[in-house]
Amino acid sequence: MQNNPNGPYDDVFKNLSKIVEDIVKNMPDAQNARIVGYTIITRNPDSGDPEIFSPGMMDDDGGIPYEMVESEDQVFITAKMPADPKNAPYADIETNCVRIIVDERTETIPLDNPVDRIHSYYRFHRGVMDITLKKEQAI
């Protein structure tokens, strides 16, 4: 695809993507590092400003927006929390679903595979909840 002559930042965003990829590859414990997919759209006919689009993100239907990515043995869920919650958000991890709870809002996420609750965990930091679920091994 040819760069837009009116979009001087096209090369910058392409290079930025490569830089982020290289940084993650060189982090300690890089084999466990994950980047949830994103796209920077630089050609917006309305405003001309770049936007961020997250594929797989749930639409704003009053629920808690989240994105889920799976590997062979784990499930990763990233959820955007409200800017100023009254209470600390938490994740209720069950074998077949995860409930994200913040204030009066609850988002139930069904899981395709059962998970090991003991070896699954979540972390809430700077408005984002990261949940890592270990899939149960088939016997």
The CA distance from 54 to 40, in Å, is: 9
Question: Domain of 71?
Answer: 59-135
pLDDT (average), residues 60-68: 79
Same domain, residue pair 43 and 100: no
* pTM score of the predicted model: 0.58
Question: What is the chain's mean pLDDT, rounded?
Answer: 77
In tens, the pLDDT along 101-112 reads 999 899 999 999
pLDDT exceeds cutoff 90 at 127:
no
Same domain, residue pair 80 and 107: yes
pLDDT exceeds cutoff 60 at 81:
yes
Same domain, residue pair 66 and 42: no
User: Residues in the chain, how many?
Assistant: 139
pLDDT at position 20 is: 75
117 is a domain residue: yes
Q: Which residues of 66-100 are buried (b: 16+ CB within 10 A; e: fewer)?
A: bbbeeeeebbebbbebeeeeeeebebebeeeebeb
